[in-house]
């Protein structure tokens, strides 16, 4: 199975800060990576697919980059509503695997 390692597992930032979350794959997954946001008590929501394509309706402060084994999710200017846990998901090969999640807290 492909292991997806996210870092950090928890982070705290102020409103307006630039936030970067990293996801590393244990082997090459091309660009078969998605990012999901799960707000407290809510269902996950897709933010990014194909590593860098922003889902329709997602604010432009969210962006994704990377290829192969290293990927990043960036929030250019953190907003209060971005309080959530973020997960990456590889779908290059079965079984699909999620990263462990990054909880983003607002200072």
Partner 1 sequence: EVQLVESGGGLVQPGGSLRLSCAASGFTFSDHAMDWVRQAPGEGLEWVGRATHGIHGYTTEYATSVKGRFTISRDDSKNSLYLQMDSLKSEDTAVYYCTRVPSGPRGPIDSWGQGTLVTVSP
Q: Binder to partner 1 among 5, 17, 24, 45 (CB under 8 A)?
A: 45
The 58-97 contact track toward partner 1, x by CB under 8 A, reads ---------------------------x-x-x-x--xxxx
Phi, psi of 83 (to 5 degrees): -60, 115
Measured between alpha carbons, how far is 61 from 32 in angstroms, rounded to an integer?
22
The interface region with partner 1, picked from 12-20, 21-29, 46-54, 71-79 by CB under 8 A, is: 46-54
**78 vs 89, beta carbon nearer partner 1:** 89
List, in sequence order, every beta strand (DSSP E) within the chain.
4-7, 10-13, 19-25, 33-38, 45-49, 53-54, 62-67, 70-75, 84-90, 97-98, 102-106
Query: Nearer Cβ to partner 1, position 1 or 15?
Result: 1
With beta carbons less than 8 A apart as the criterion, state whether 71 and 88 touch. yes
Q: Is 18 in the site for partner 1 (CB under 8 A)?
A: no
β-strand partners of 38 = 85
Site for partner 1, rule CB under 8 A: 1, 32, 34, 36, 38, 43-46, 49-50, 53, 55, 85, 87, 89, 91, 94-101
């Amino acid at each position: 199975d492909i292991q997806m390692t996210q870092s950090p597992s928890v982070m705290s930032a102020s409103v307006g800060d630039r936030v970067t979350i990293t996801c590393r794959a244990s082997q090459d997954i091309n660009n078969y990576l998605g990012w999901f946001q799960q707000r407290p008590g809510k269902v996950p929501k897709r933010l990014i697919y194909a590593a860098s394509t922003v889902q329709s309706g997602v604010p432009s402060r969210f962006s994704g980059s990377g290829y192969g084994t290293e990927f990043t999710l960036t929030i250019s200017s953190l907003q209060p509503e971005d309080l959530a846990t973020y997960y990456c998901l590889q779908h290059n090969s079965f079984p699909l695997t999620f990263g462990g999640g990054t909880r983003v807290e607002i200072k």
